[in-house]
């Protein structure tokens, strides 16, 4: 192929941001050949020159976009005509585009070019993190831990009254803790994305965000995955806590999850497959009497890559590929039962040749 073509905004498209380091919510075009070329509006050209890591920045005005708009009367048609000229000027005949490529533009380009829709290789490149990327993730993780500290302390400072937790005479709610987490992250230059604070039976759904008063004497799952507003890199951490009296069953479930996480963390190293790490965690649960049943038990993968997206390659699952040094992955086993709720623990590590470096520095403690 003569190049890979991306069209979209880098606020949502992590591959485009990775290749250009140009952050914008406006649509632009990125052509990846031996060099990276951006095609942006005249309004964005100055900023793109200053901020982007691209080799070349071209404005649509250089291709007479306004004249084309007058001729065709439709902005999208004018843009497509500019795009064809832009690609021809760079010797493109055979073109690769990602699965998410705009369908209307794809159809238009097929008239003049040989276009192949493919799985973007950029997501594979992104899986191995440079030292600079690892530092960016560490920075997000520090903010994550500050927010987690605040959340756990709010639960710890509450008191049990009947079935619920109270603080300053009012029920302590998922929304209150989530709001406190979000404010703390903003103060650290991060943004919260769908933070989970789910207590009791609500936590039996691993991705339930949680609503209303938090229960006493029941596990509360707190899952925080902030993204830095400057670097755009995520962190990810989960802790499960309880205020009041924990039943023997909940204590045993927590210990099983803790043991499974330890086994998973010890298995991480370059050269092992994500499938093997996941299998070892599943085996621990089975040996401790927690086999997966329909909708119960360990119902998700052991972990996932973290970077410009909170869930990216590589996967620690049945479909997991071989881990490489520089991967950043989570290890987050959990057990879920409709009549009890859920327990999950999640740490984030950097894969090394000999093992891993844990980026998470936060205690695991069930009863507060």
- The domain ranges of the chain are 3-120, 127-358
pLDDT tens digit sequence for 216-238: 999 999 999 999 999 999 999 99
Peptide bond just before 298 cis, omega within 30 deg = no
Which CATH number applies to 3-120: 3.40.350.10, 3.40.50.300, 3.30.2010.10, 3.40.1410.10? 3.40.350.10
Q: For residue 338, is it left (φ>0), alpha (ψ between -120 and 50) or beta?
A: alpha
* Placement of tokens 């204590």 in the chain: 251
Percent of the chain surpassing pLDDT 90: 94
* Placement of tokens 């020159």 in the chain: 49
Q: What predicted TM-score, i.e. pTM, was given to this entire model?
A: 0.94
Closest CA to 325 of 128, 136, 186, 188: 128
CA R_g for the chain: 24
Inter-residue contact 101 to 7 (CB < 8 Å): yes
Asked whether residue 286 carries a pLDDT value surpassing 80, the answer given is yes
Q: What confidence score (pLDDT) does residue 46 get?
A: 94
For 18, 149, 205, the CA distances from 44, given in Å and listed in that order, are: 18, 40, 43
Q: What confidence score (pLDDT) does residue 292 get?
A: 79
Give residue 27's Cα distance to chain centre.
22
pLDDT tens digit sequence for 194-203: 999 999 999 9
Architecture of the domain delimited by 127-358: Alpha-Beta Complex (3.90)
Q: What confidence score (pLDDT) does residue 104 get?
A: 94
User: What's the pLDDT band for 102 if we cut at 50, 70, 90?
Assistant: very high
* CA 237 – CA 226 distance, rounded (Å): 9
């Amino acid at each position: 192929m003569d190049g890979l073509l991306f069209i979209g905004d880098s606020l949502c498209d992590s591959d485009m941001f990775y290749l250009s380091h140009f952050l914008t919510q406006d649509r632009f075009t990125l052509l990846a050949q031996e060099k990276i070329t951006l095609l942006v509006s005249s309004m964005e050209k100055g900023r793109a020159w200053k901020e982007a890591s691209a080799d070349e920045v071209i404005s649509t005005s250089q291709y007479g976009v306004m004249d084309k708009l007058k001729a065709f009367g439709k902005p999208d048609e004018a843009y497509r005509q500019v795009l064809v000229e832009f690609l021809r000027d760079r010797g493109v005949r055979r073109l690769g585009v990602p699965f998410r490529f705009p369908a209307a533009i794809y159809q238009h380009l097929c008239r003049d070019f040989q276009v192949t829709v493919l799985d973007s290789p950029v997501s594979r490149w992104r899986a191995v993190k440079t030292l600079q990327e690892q530092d960016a993730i560490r920075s997000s993780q520090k903010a994550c831990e500050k927010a987690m500290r605040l959340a756990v302390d709010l639960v710890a400072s509450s008191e049990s009254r009947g079935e619920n937790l109270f603080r300053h005479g009012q029920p302590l709610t998922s929304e209150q803790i989530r709001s406190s987490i979000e404010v703390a992250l903003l103060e650290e230059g991060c943004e919260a994305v769908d933070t989970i604070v789910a207590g009791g039976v609500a936590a039996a759904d691993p991705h339930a965000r949680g609503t209303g008063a938090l229960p006493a004497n029941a596990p509360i799952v707190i899952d925080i995955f902030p993204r830095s507003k400057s670097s755009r890199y995520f962190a990810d951490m989960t802790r499960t806590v309880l205020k009041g009296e924990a039943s023997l069953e909940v204590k045993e479930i927590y210990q099983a999850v803790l043991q499974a996480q330890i086994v998973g963390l010890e298995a991480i190293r370059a050269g092992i497959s994500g499938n093997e790490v996941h299998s070892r965690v599943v085996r621990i649960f089975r040996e401790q009497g927690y086999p997966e049943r329909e909708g119960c038990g360990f119902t998700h993968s052991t972990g996932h890559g973290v970077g410009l997206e909170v869930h990216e390659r590589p996967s620690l699952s049945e479909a997991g590929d071989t881990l490489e040094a520089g991967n950043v992955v989570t290890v987050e086993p959990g057990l879920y039962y409709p009549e009890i709720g859920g327990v999950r623990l999640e740490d984030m590590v950097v894969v090394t040749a000999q093992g891993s470096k844990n980026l998470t520095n936060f205690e695991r403690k069930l009863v507060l």
